[in-house]
Structure 1
Amino acid sequence: MTLLTARRPSLSPLLARMRDREPGLAASLLAGAVAAGLGFASFAALLMLLWVSSPYPDSGPGGALHVAAALWLLAHGVELVRTDTLSGVPMPVGVTPLLLLALPVWRVYRAARDAVDAPEDADGPPPVPARTVWTGVVLGYLGVGGAIALYCSGGELRASWPWVTVCLPLVAAGSAAAGVWSAYGCPREPVLSMLTVLPGPVRRVVFGADARARVGTAVRATGAATAVLFGGGALVLGVSLVWHGGAAQASFLQLTEGWTGRFAVLVLGIALIPNAAVWAASYALGPGFLLGAGHGVNPFASDPAPLLPPFPLLAAVPDAGAGSLPNWLAGLVPVAAGGMAGWFVARGAMERPEPGEAVAARWSAARTGGVMLLTATVCAAAFALLAELAGGPLGVAALARFGPVWWQTGGAVGAWTAVCGVPVALVVRGWLVWRGRTRGGSIPAQGTGAGQDGKASASNFGAAADGTGNGPGKAEEPTTGEGTATAGAEHQGAEGGRSGEEEGREGHDEGAGKARGKEPGTGKNLGRPETAPGTAGAAEEDPYEILPADDPFGPDWSDDLTHAARWTAVREPAAPRDTPDDCRPGSSPTAPAWPLLPERPRPASTEAAPDSAEPVTDTTEQPPESH
């Protein structure tokens, strides 16, 4: 019995592996199913409340649940088919309320983010693998969603199955991917791997030198411009509703008489306000929107359909006829959006200086204009997607198209953003550069030889410590802070009254370019090495500041995805075996080890070597103090 037990294979590794993998997948499946169930339950609760309080409950609770299922699918962008028409011909319903779309997106996003179970501290258990979480959440959500679609197929509002197979997985997969990516700290590598399918010129813009700063600036500027367009559209909608307040009130009261029906109309109107804001923004951009096939509404002419259903938001449509000055004033919205995008790009083109340093431009004027064009392209794509989601059919024939045309709206957004944003970006960038040069052209001096902390300070490029610039060789900076403090303490007596100007003249008499140090208590020269005039602050500069900026629109030779192996091979023979470690590439600011990669390690500190005029930088360890 003992031998049989000893020879029996152990199942502990398999059980441990199952314990590690199955709970994550099972929890992810459950999270996706719960997200779909809670979303449907919220719609069902609202519809059941309206059915119970309605004075005309004709269909019963089953009909209310079928309508709730149809609305839940419509919130995912699924086109519905209405069968109870007077003519007997099924009519499509494809206008997706954007406010309802935000509910399933948020549910799936939170479910995927919570299913990762990322630890709050480093000592906690590792998070669930991203692929496991994404697969489980999507499969769980689609399982419940498919059951809801099957249940909805027996009602008067039925889902179109081609739209179910496209929209439902797209919403679930996209929202789950965003939740997992956010839970892992928004890493850069998945985004870069997805963007490798882009063409070569576009990939050079995204992956070239300084790619993260340019793409991040373009995304922030796009968000700001889209927010201004959306807010401006909502403002235009509100002004039009107030202008047509009588017609909007009459249509609201005409639809139903009971308070339950009016509450339902109010809820539907609130859910469609984001759609109406996108319509109004498209109107301000110029292309306008369609109220039926062949009936366009834009600032220059309004031709609404003659038989529109009575609805409060449709009462805000401008009257038929040619546009006038109040209609043309809506064009200020895209101008403001383009100016906002240009402002964000101009701010992104400037470096963030340290306290006391001058403001410097990160990009040239040409590169700033290129980033602005990239912003216009991204903004056009984002708003074209919003325009496509905000419209759709409400029937056949004349009601086959309602809302803005996506390609017209996207093209108008790109043109307005480029035309209005590029001049603003260039002008604001030039103004910021000019203001930085006039207000802070150099680093201010820290004080004289007897200043606070007993330190004799030096300017950035070897100017005199008193700010006069008369001492070209007066760049004093003792090697150790201990000796400096001792010297400052003992110089408070007879030698503590000497000004920086006198020391500058004395240093000039001894010879320009010598860095002088005082031995504690004696005032003797310690024999600091000679430094060329104007290079005293070179060791304090960023070693990568002296390199020329790489052209992101040039040849694709700095692509960190396709040429990483090449740079690794080039970097190997760059350091011979007989070369000391402190002289290898990467230790000198004039020859960094990886000068062309997008992300370059910044050295912790840089000091001048005691036996060499050139600064030596170690990018891996802290530089030793010289004595």
Structure 2
Amino acid sequence: MTSMLERPATEQASATRRPLRTRADVVATRPVAAVTAAIWAAGVGLLVLGVVVALAWAVSSRGEDGITTPLRAASTLWLVAHHAPVVTGTATITLLPLLLLALPLLLLARAGRWAARITSTTTVPDVALIVLTGTATYVSVAFLVSQVAGIADASSPPVPVIVWSTVVALVGLGIGALQGSGLVTPLAARLPLLVRRGALAAAASGAALVALVGVVAVVAVALRWSTVTGLARGVAPGPWDMLGLFLLSLAYLPNLLVWTLAYVAGPGFAVGASVVVSPFSAGSGILPGAPLLGAIPPEAPAAAPLLMLLPVLAGLVGAAVLRRRGTLALRDEVVVDVGAAAAVGAATGVLCLLASGSLGSARLADLGPDALVTGLAVFGLVAAGALLWSLLAHALPTIWVREDAP
């Protein structure tokens, strides 16, 4: 009886002693979650690449070098995945595989999403706190890795490592934290109607352009398949060498697509100091012996300039998708078309910057498209296609408009 009478008082006392979770406590946990997320993203990335490098080292003839060499090589590869240049001797390698960049971005996005969800983050300042804290931690890890990374005489300087890891961490953690906080939809809803329509048209034009460029790249490799395979056998005579070459080519596949986009847009791309490959000029000069470059035709095909119609077609697709969302006044639709084309052109310029650089000296010193010229060319062609469709649609209002469109 006595215990029964005292139980409510005990429960009330324990409830009184139980501290309430204040906002200060929640804010205090966000830096901890951000630091944990950044360390996790860096650790998993290093682990994944470390396993790949260790397996490659074990099956190669250099398996007796010890565990230190593959670990340092994996650390260098992890820095390369962040697009940090590699200095070897007197040459600086800045043409790096874009596919590797997807690994840290995906890990950071997942880490940022987890940090936002576990701390119940729902405001922009709290997202900024997570992103900035996680970025500072991630950059610190990257700096420490750069101090121990390196293979033979190849290493990544600390300053580019800090710059590139900062950019990658801000983008990856920012995307993930916004998704985890659920702020993407509310923030997008606050944007003006024309901006939202422009983003839709830009996404549609960009997706169509990527698909069309992919088809062109596949056809180019297929038409020159014997040359590509011949160069591959010359570079990698053994089965393990061929596997390594295949993985390396796969890592550089996004670079190839960006180069193909520059070719389709008209400016083309440089392969060394004296060779420019475009629909109007032949790549008949002395080319490096990379297998994927075997897809370059020795002479510009007569119908190659017609490929410039593909960005125009992508602009048509973007304008058609825009019209599916409902009609706009002609002036507003022109503004949206030009804005969407500018976004696609700007994205193209950024990709050209990332997909260009140097692999050494002489013929490998200048590789890739000109970012400014290619971006402007894509902007002009996409805008031409979008404006053409919009003008036709306003002249013929029955073109592909849903009856229930808002």
For 1:447-488, what per-residue CA distance to the aligned partner results, in whole angstroms no more than 9, with x for missing partners? xxxxxxxxxxxxxxxxxxxxxxxxxxxxxxxxxxxxxxxxxx
Matched letter for residue 258 of structure 2: V
Counterpart selection for 2:205 from 222, 225, 235 = 225
Deviation at 1:332, TM superposition (A): 3.4
Looking at structure 2, the residues matched to 213 and 418 of structure 1 have their Cα atoms a distance apart, in angstroms, of: 19
Residue equivalent to 1:299: 279
Looking at structure 1, the residues matched to 401 and 143 of structure 2 have their Cα atoms a distance apart, in angstroms, of: 60
Looking at structure 1, the residues matched to 258 and 195 of structure 2 have their Cα atoms a distance apart, in angstroms, of: 25
Deviation at 1:250, TM superposition (A): 1.2
TM-score scaled by structure 2?
Answer: 0.86
Percent identical among aligned pairs is 26
The answer to whether the 8 A contact 2:270-2:277 is kept is yes
Deviation at 1:243, TM superposition (A): 1.0
Looking at structure 2, the residues matched to 432 and 312 of structure 1 have their Cα atoms a distance apart, in angstroms, of: 50
Residue equivalent to 2:237: 257
Residue equivalent to 2:183: 186
SS in structure 2 of the partner of residue 302 of structure 1:
coil
SS in structure 1 of the partner of residue 130 of structure 2:
helix
Worse-superposed segment, 226-235 or 11-20: 11-20
SS in structure 2 of the partner of residue 92 of structure 1:
strand
Specify whether residues 185 and 246 from structure 1 end up closer, same or farther in structure 2 by C-alpha distance, changes over 3 A only: same
Deviation at 1:307, TM superposition (A): 4.6
Residue equivalent to 1:130: 127
Residue equivalent to 1:99: 99
Counterpart selection for 2:364 from 395, 399, 412 = 399
Q: Residues 456-605 of structure 1 correspond to what in structure 2 (within 5 A)?
A: none
SS in structure 2 of the partner of residue 69 of structure 1:
helix
| Structure 2 gap ranges (5+) | 1-16
The answer to whether the 8 A contact 1:296-1:304 is kept is no
SS in structure 1 of the partner of residue 270 of structure 2:
strand
Residue equivalent to 1:342: 319
Specify whether residues 191 and 172 from structure 1 end up closer, same or farther in structure 2 by C-alpha distance, changes over 3 A only: farther
Specify whether residues 227 and 143 from structure 1 end up closer, same or farther in structure 2 by C-alpha distance, changes over 3 A only: same
For 1:261-280, what per-residue CA distance to the aligned partner results, in whole angstroms no more than 9, with x for missing partners? 21111111111111101111
Matched letter for residue 98 of structure 1: L
Residue equivalent to 1:450: none
1:158 aligns with 2:137: no
Looking at structure 2, the residues matched to 58 and 392 of structure 1 have their Cα atoms a distance apart, in angstroms, of: 34
The answer to whether the 8 A contact 1:134-1:177 is kept is yes
Residue equivalent to 2:295: 316
Specify whether residues 434 and 165 from structure 1 end up closer, same or farther in structure 2 by C-alpha distance, changes over 3 A only: closer
Matched letter for residue 138 of structure 1: T
Matched letter for residue 317 of structure 1: I
Looking at structure 1, the residues matched to 310 and 20 of structure 2 have their Cα atoms a distance apart, in angstroms, of: 63
Larger radius of gyration: 1
SS in structure 1 of the partner of residue 82 of structure 2:
coil
The answer to whether the 8 A contact 1:291-1:305 is kept is no
For 1:431-458, what per-residue CA distance to the aligned partner results, in whole angstroms no more than 9, with x for missing partners? 4457879x99xxxxxxxxxxxxxxxxxx
Matched letter for residue 315 of structure 1: G
Looking at structure 1, the residues matched to 56 and 241 of structure 2 have their Cα atoms a distance apart, in angstroms, of: 8
Counterpart selection for 2:58 from 47, 52, 58 = 52
| Structure 1 gap ranges (5+) | 1-10, 84-89, 120-124, 193-206, 351-360, 441-544, 546-627
RMSD between aligned alpha carbons? 2.9
The answer to whether the 8 A contact 1:96-1:390 is kept is yes
Specify whether residues 306 and 126 from structure 1 end up closer, same or farther in structure 2 by C-alpha distance, changes over 3 A only: closer
Matched letter for residue 314 of structure 2: A
Of Structure 1 and Structure 2, the greater helix share is in 2
Looking at structure 1, the residues matched to 66 and 204 of structure 2 have their Cα atoms a distance apart, in angstroms, of: 47
TM-score scaled by structure 1?
Answer: 0.57
Deviation at 1:12, TM superposition (A): 9.6
Specify whether residues 61 and 432 from structure 1 end up closer, same or farther in structure 2 by C-alpha distance, changes over 3 A only: farther
Matched letter for residue 270 of structure 1: L
Residue equivalent to 2:112: 112
Q: How many residues align?
A: 387
